[in-house]
Amino acid sequence: MSTPAPEDRAEDRAPEDKKDSMAESAAGPVDAKRGPSVATRERRQGSINPSGETPYLVVEDLAVKFPTADGLVSAVNGLSYSVPLGRTLAIVGESGSGKSVSSMAVMGLHDRKRTRITGSIRLGGDELVGLSENDLMKIRGDAMSMVFQDPQSSLHPLYTIGNQLVEAYRVHHKVSKDVAKKRALEMLDLVGIPNPPRRFSQYPHEFSGGMRQRAMIAMSLINDPKLVIADEPTTALDVTVQAQILDLLNNLQKEFGSAIVLITHDLGVVAEMADDVLVMYAGRCVEYGTAEDVLANPRMPYTWGLLESIPTVSAANERLRPIKGLPPSLLNLPDGCSFSARCPYVERVKGELCTTQLPDLLPVDGAGAHTSRCHLHDKASIYEAEVAPRLG
Ligand SMILES: Nc1ncnc2c1ncn2[C@@H]1O[C@H](COP(=O)(O)OP(=O)(O)OP(=O)(O)O)[C@@H](O)[C@H]1O
């Protein structure tokens, strides 16, 4: 029989353990009679948040491409969004839709030699695209930081948690080790790690998964960043721990007032956490708006498919309804709507519009901040009559 590890002592456990459009100028072309072009309008949507609040992070017409031996991988295309302080944007989409690649571009984490990034990423008004690695390093971990799915990849196994927190703080603050230690202990306490002085001297492997994620969050927030990007922060955790980490992020956001970009494929997490939602498919935004608009009145068949594929308790005996088919190759995106090959509604659009013309990202009601990229005319009535009843 094995002796319980020290971290399993009840008093030390965290709650969870007790259970391509860059050709135009920045302003874009303006037709004197018809106003700005669609590309320009889409780009400007980046600077207008669905809430109407002034954004802290503004991403406009972002494109991320990787030259590879097989050709150019267009991982992100024409992506625009914005996040004000105190607000959470959830970016959702299936695996490979470009969620992580776009967020790593915001953090400046791509290998410069192997990545082509165009467009604009402004943080508090300052342009990040084109900054030197040195300048980005000063911002990363300070004004913006990232929480990863797997804290083990970000926590060094050979340094104590305390040491890593102290170093993370001292990189951006000229303070003594004692002052930094005080801040580290405060952070451990803030993220709900019991007995901070003892935990301070322990190594990552001495922490449980949930505790490691808390330590990672402490590390991300130690410099009081105004932007936090959380990439699937709870995917590797069990459901109870997931809920506690999400609560923690929610509470910390209230305390720190930061803008959060939450990357997830879990629409349950979105409903719980998000103020705004951006749905990505094959590297493009296909629907964007407040969480209320996107979740209660979705207007894009891909979003419908994502919502329909959520397993529900009441449908426990029914088969899961995943979206049929696979996303297109990013090496060779189709001419029309990237979702057309999988879309069950494609025949309801006249002619071959869906397969030949990329739909613009347009306001769903002809105006307003809720936008979707789809040629279907009667999206509202199809949703009400056919999709909503299936969602139960
Ligand atoms: N360095 C790279 N070189 C070539 N292709 C890449 C590179 N990095 C990412 N990709 C491709 O870009 C696409 C988008 O990847 P990304 O990781 O952003 O998807 P995601 O939506 O975050 O998916 P997941 O939920 O699985 O993390 C994928 O097809 C991926 O294979």
Per-residue model confidence (pLDDT) at position 313: 55
Average pLDDT estimate for 346-352: 93
What is residue 328's DSSP assignment? P
Pinpoint the alpha helices (H) of the chain.
Answer: 38-45, 99-107, 133-139, 151-154, 161-172, 177-190, 196-200, 209-221, 239-256, 267-273, 291-296, 301-308, 353-356, 379-382, 388-391
Per-residue model confidence (pLDDT) at position 309: 85
Q: How far apart are the C-alpha atoms of 47 and 26, rounded to whole Å?
A: 13
Per-residue model confidence (pLDDT) at position 44: 52
Confirm or reject: Cβ of 93 under 6 Å from ligand 1: yes
Better pLDDT: 262 or 310: 262
For residues 79 and 61, is the Cβ–Cβ distance under 8 A? yes
Give the model confidence (pLDDT) of 296-313 as tens digits.
999 999 999 999 987 765
The alpha carbons of the chain give a radius of gyration, in whole angstroms, of 22
State yes or no: pLDDT of 9 exceeds 60.
no
What is the whole-number distance in angstroms between the Cα of residue 76 and the centre of ligand 1?
A: 9
110 CA: nearest ligand 1 atom: 1
State yes or no: pLDDT of 72 exceeds 70.
yes
Contacts 24+ apart (CB under 8 A), 132-136: 133/108, 136/108
State yes or no: pLDDT of 225 exceeds 80.
yes
Average pLDDT estimate for 318-323: 72
Beta bridge partner(s), residue 285: 280
What is the whole-number distance in angstroms between the Cα of residue 75 and the centre of ligand 1?
A: 7
Calculate ∠ Cα 91-79-226, nearest 5°: 60
Per-residue model confidence (pLDDT) at position 359: 96
Give the model confidence (pLDDT) of 187-209 as tens digits.
999 888 999 999 999 999 999 98
What is the whole-number distance in angstroms between the Cα of residue 118 and the centre of ligand 1?
A: 17
Beta carbons within 8 Å of 153's beta carbon, 6+ residues apart? none
Domains and CATH numbers, the chain: 34-143+225-391 (3.40.50.300), 153-224 (no CATH)
- Cα–chain-centroid distance for residue 251? 18
State yes or no: pLDDT of 317 exceeds 90.
no
Share the mean pLDDT of the chain. 86
